Amino acid sequence: MPYHPPRMNGVPEADFEMYNDVVNGAYRAHDMMLQRLIHLAGPDTAVVLVSDHGFHSDHLRPTFTPSVPAGITVWHRVQGVLMASGPGFKQDQPVYGARLLDITPTILHYFGLPVGEDMEGRVLGEILSGSRKVETIPTWEPPDGPAPGRGTLSADEGRELLEQFVALGYIDEISSDPSTAAAETERENKWNLARACLYGGKYGMALPLLEHCHATSPERADFSQLLAKTQIQLGLLEEAEETLATCLDSLGDTASAHLLMGSIETERGNPTKALEHLNAMRSRSPENLRLLHGLSETYLGLRRWKDAEDVATRMLELDPGGAQGHLILTRCFLHQGRNAEAAAAALEAIGLQYGNPRPHFLLGVALVGMQDWLAAEGALKNSLQLNPGDLLATRYQAHVHRHLGRAEEALELETRSRILHTLNKTGAEKRLAALRREAAHRKQQRIRDGQQKDVSGDCEEPEADARSMEFVIVSGLPRSGTSMMMQILRAGGMELMHDGKREADDDNLEGYWEWEKIRSLRKHPRVIEQAEGKVIKVISALLPSLPPKHRYKVLFMKRPVGEVVESQWKMLANRGEQPKAAKDHLVATQEAHVAQMM
Higher model confidence: residue 162 or residue 352? 352
Q: Dihedral through CA 522, CA 526, CA 527, CA 531, nearest 10?
A: 130
Is the bond leading into 148 cis (omega within 30 degrees of zero)?
no
pLDDT digits (tens, 9 = 90+) for 545-573: 888 888 899 999 998 988 988 888 888 78
Q: Which range among 162-176, 210-224, 531-545, 583-597 shows the weakest confidence by mean pLDDT?
A: 162-176
Q: Which of 459, 481, 515 is the last residue of a domain?
A: 459
Q: Report whether 281 contacts 291 (CB < 8 A).
A: yes
In terms of domains, do 59 and 116 share one?
Answer: yes
476 and 589 share one domain: yes
**Among residues of the chain, what percentage have pLDDT more than 70?**
86
> Is 113 a member of any domain?
yes
Residues 508 and 451 in one domain: no
CATH of the domain at 563: 3.40.50
Closest by alpha carbon to 260, among 274, 246, 279? 274
- pLDDT for residue 146 is more than 60: no
Q: What percent of the chain has pLDDT over 90?
A: 34
User: By C-alpha distance, which of 591, 550, 592, 585 is closest to 12?
Assistant: 585
> Residue 28 falls within a domain, yes or no?
no
Is 347 in contact with 324 (CB distance < 8 Å)? no
Residue 527 lies in a domain: yes
- Give the residue from 105, 121, 137 where a domain finishes: 137
Q: Kindly list the distances between the CA atom of residue 146 and the CA atoms of 137, 143, 150, 267, in Å, as whole numbers in the listed order.
A: 20, 9, 11, 43
Residue 181 binned pLDDT confidence (cut-offs 50, 70, 90):
low
Helix pair angle (357-369, 339-352), 10° resolution: 160
Q: Determine the straight-line distance between the first and last CA of the chain, rounded to whole angstroms.
A: 33
Instruction: Report the C-alpha gap between 313 and 344 in whole angstroms.
Output: 14
**How far is residue 531's CA from residue 538's CA, in Å, rounded to a whole number?**
12
334: pLDDT strictly greater than 50? yes
3-state SS, residue 170? coil
Residue 481 and residue 593 share a domain: yes
pTM: 0.62
Residue 51's H or E segment, with its range, is strand 47-51
Q: Are residues 490 and 432 in the same domain?
A: no
CA dist., res. 482 & res. 120, Å (int): 56
Residues 482 and 581 in one domain: yes
Residues 584 and 471 in one domain: yes
- For the chain, the domain total comes to 3
CA distance 363 to 327: 10
Judged on CB neighbours under 10 Å (0-12, 13-18, 19+), 43 is: exposed
Residues 50 and 129 grouped into a single domain: yes
Domain match, 533 and 506 both = yes
- Boundary of a domain, candidates 410, 425, 459: 459
Residue 196 lies in a domain: no
Q: How far is CA 266 from the centre of its chain?
A: 20
Is there a domain that residue 352 lies in? yes
Averaged confidence pLDDT in the chain: 83
Q: What is the pLDDT of residue 25?
A: 95
pLDDT tens digit sequence for 67-82: 666 677 888 887 888 9
Expressed as residue numbers, the domain containing 362 is 346-459
Residue 292 contacts by C-beta under 8 Å, 6 or more apart in sequence?
Answer: 311, 312, 314, 315, 318
In this predicted structure, the answer to whether residue 493 has a pLDDT above a threshold of 80 is yes
- Residue 149 is assigned to a structural domain of this protein: no
Query: CA dihedral in degrees (225, 228, 232, 238; nearest 10)?
Result: -140
Q: Quick count: other Cβ atoms within 10 Å of Cβ 199? A: 14
Question: What is the pLDDT confidence band of residue 520, given thresholds at 50, 70 and 90?
Answer: confident
Range in 210-214, 255-259, 490-494, 555-559 with the lowest mean pLDDT: 255-259
What pLDDT is attached to residue 251?
Answer: 52
Which of 164-168, 321-325, 522-526 has the highest mean predicted lDDT (pLDDT)?
321-325
Distance from C-alpha of 318 to C-alpha of 116, rounded to nearest angstrom: 39
Residues 409, 454, single domain; the answer is: yes
Average pLDDT over residues 108-129: 92
Q: CB neighbours of 352 closer than 8 A, spacing ≥ 6?
A: 79, 96, 97, 321, 322, 323, 326
- Average pLDDT rounded to a whole number, residues 510-531: 83
Residues in CB range of 258: below 8 A, 6 or more apart: 277, 278, 280, 281
Q: What is the mean pLDDT of residues 125-130?
A: 90
Q: What is the CATH number of the domain that holds 357?
A: 1.25.40.10
Q: Is there a domain that residue 569 lies in?
A: yes
Higher pLDDT, 507 or 155: 507
Q: Which amino acid, residue 431? A: R
CA distance 45 to 4: 35
- The verdict on 422 and 494 lying in the same domain is no
169 pLDDT more than 60: no
Residue 491 within a domain: yes
Does residue 592 share a domain with residue 473? yes
